[in-house]
Structure 1
Amino acid sequence: MKRAIFLLAASFFGQGVMLPTAGSAQEELPVYLQDRGTGVPSSMFGTYIRRGELLVYPFYEYYHDNDMEYEPAEFGYGLAQEFRGRYRAHEGLLFFGLGITDRLALEVEAAVIDARLTRSAADTSAMPDELHESGLGDVESQLRWRWSRETERRPEFFSFFETVFPLRKDRVLIGTQDWEFKLGAGVIKGFGWGTLTLRTAMAYDGAERKMEFGEYALEYLKRVSRLLRVVLLVEGEEDEVELIADTQWHISPRVFVRLNAGIGLTSKATDIAPEVGVMFSFPVF
């Protein structure tokens, strides 16, 4: 059994080495595409999906926040007053991305999470000292559409539509309790010194039955070498803004290891959220 597993792994990585390398393919691209290649931009920053490619990304994220904003009423404890509590969570996620055409990509992502919220000392509601929930977290899908390809003078334009499914109506701290939708758009332009992506979105929350301004982000991507790419990102939603630093180490043409950390720039953002995962790429058609 161990021998079979070893041979399977050797075959997978060996085939990746025998294929034309990502580095050699990148060298043939124009300067403005050398950081990112020709794929459709995915929701995983600094990652692009090519036609006929299946991306599989298992990853882990930790949330450390000493001043998470909450209202006891949101958890069913009556008091509609804002407090700041201590929040910790461990989350395991699985992401799939499929390049259907040169313009269209489909994504699905699901999570399991263990979360704890310690209430504020100033909170006089009937909320327990600690809320603890674990199990299925957010489950969502996205359609990604490229309107036009980047040229030497013109940027690339894309849109995306996100659906978050209400699969945890019995929970208050984890998962999603009602339908959530997001419609966004972005623009990408590559330069000799790196690639910039700007995106924004409108969001609809089924629980509140209203549309509002959603996420916004400015991303910088640079291919440092054949093996290493780095991403710097400022991302926010309303008054929650964070800075994310990301590294992608390409250990083979089909596999890269991702390490990143988000640091809250505003008081309502999570203080720190490190992430680690391994991205696999499979040609499926």
Structure 2
Amino acid sequence: MLWAQGDRGNGIRTSMVETYVEPHQLLVYPFGAYTWDHNFEYQPSIFGIPRDQDFRGQFRSTEAALFLAYGVTDWLALELEGSLISADFDKAPADTFGTPATLHESGLSDVGGALRLRLARERGSRPEFFGSVEVVPAQHEQLVLIGEPQWDVKGEVGAVRQYRWGTMTFRTTIEYNHGDQAWELGETSLEYLRRLSPKWRVLLGIEGGEGGAPDDYGLIAAAHWRIARGLDLKIFNAVGLMSKATDWETQVGLLWTLPQ
């Protein structure tokens, strides 16, 4: 399916939207990110206050991040990611339970690694199936906004199918809920990818469903522009459609592909 290869190539899907890595290829992707949410849901209990009532505060963060991916074979890839983050929180006016009025945290965060797998190639009308296992170690256990108090393990499964009019991908994750001590569905997305020209590739999708809930979905959009051989500009935006979804998240970065 030559038109199929035109959208995504022959690589293994990575955790970065519309980004694929081929065997013996190294991707180096430094990027900046900004997140803003005017109705960030929280409970005073996360600050050590014995109240489980839900409130909506404000949350903002900026990140300088680095993503690495290496294609080991045509069915296995490795990933490593981490970021320096600065996060700010403002509590809800209705919260009178001793929650800090404002909170600022910064430091190294979101450090983790993953194995990415191609489970079955696309053949005829059968889609390609892929999966992954991601591990995030405990970090900054004492910090509320950027900390990860316990090790986190997340799995992902998905399918991608090429058509003459573009590429469709469905994926969902499963992760362990330490509070409920049970595995549950995590983030789910449906994506449309299309190569517009040798230099431009775009993606549109809907994403959300953390914890199986139907009330935090948002729209995602991404663009990929080939600046030169082995160097691409990547842009990503997500806009929340529902009250529990993050209002706005954006990423901009340069992707180096080695060897070219």
Q: What is the TM-score of this pair, normalised by structure 1?
A: 0.87
Residue 150 in 1 paired to residue 122 in 2? yes
**Aligned twin of 2:2:** 30
**Aligned twin of 2:153:** 181
Aligned match of 1:63 in 6, 14, 35? 35
Q: CA deviation at 1:241?
A: 1.2
Contact 1:179 1:205 in 2 (8 A): no
The 1:170–1:208 alpha-carbon spacing in structure 2 relative to 1, beyond 3 Å, is: farther
Q: CA deviation at 1:154?
A: 1.9
SS at match of 1:202: strand
Aligned match of 1:129 in 87, 101, 107? 101
Residue 199 in 1 paired to residue 165 in 2? no
**Could you give the per-residue CA deviations for residues 23-73 of structure 1, whole angstroms, max 9, x where no partner exists?**
xxxxxx711221000001111111111000010111111111110000011
**Could you give the per-residue CA deviations for residues 153-211 of structure 1, whole angstroms, max 9, x where no partner exists?**
22101111111110211211113111111112110111111101101121113455321
Aligned match of 1:246 in 222, 231, 236? 222
Structure 1, unaligned runs of 5 or more: 1-28
Q: What is the TM-score of this pair, normalised by structure 2?
A: 0.95
Which runs of structure 1 show a deviation greater than 4 angstroms over 4 or more consecutive aligned residues?
A: none
Q: Which amino acid aligns with 1:126?
A: G
Following the alignment from structure 1 to structure 2, what is the Cα–Cα distance between the partners of residues 192 and 281?
A: 27
Structure 2, unaligned runs of 5 or more: none
* RMSD (Å), alpha carbons: 1.4
Q: CA deviation at 1:133?
A: 0.6
Contact 1:182 1:203 in 2 (8 A): yes
Residue 94 in 1 paired to residue 66 in 2? yes
Q: Which amino acid aligns with 1:140?
A: G
Q: Which amino acid aligns with 2:241?
A: L
Following the alignment from structure 2 to structure 1, what is the Cα–Cα distance between the partners of residues 29 and 179?
A: 30
Contact 1:181 1:205 in 2 (8 A): no
* Greater fraction helix: 1
Contact 1:201 1:215 in 2 (8 A): yes
Following the alignment from structure 1 to structure 2, what is the Cα–Cα distance between the partners of residues 83 and 93?
A: 30
**Aligned twin of 1:83:** 55
**Could you give the per-residue CA deviations for residues 209-228 of structure 1, whole angstroms, max 9, x where no partner exists?**
32111111111110000000
Following the alignment from structure 1 to structure 2, what is the Cα–Cα distance between the partners of residues 207 and 283?
A: 44
Contact 1:160 1:185 in 2 (8 A): yes
**Aligned twin of 2:194:** 222
Larger Rg: 1
Contact 1:227 1:250 in 2 (8 A): yes
Aligned length: 256
Q: Which amino acid aligns with 2:237?
A: A
**Aligned twin of 2:233:** 257
Q: Which amino acid aligns with 2:231?
A: V
**Aligned twin of 2:136:** 164
Q: Give identity over the alignment, percent.
A: 42
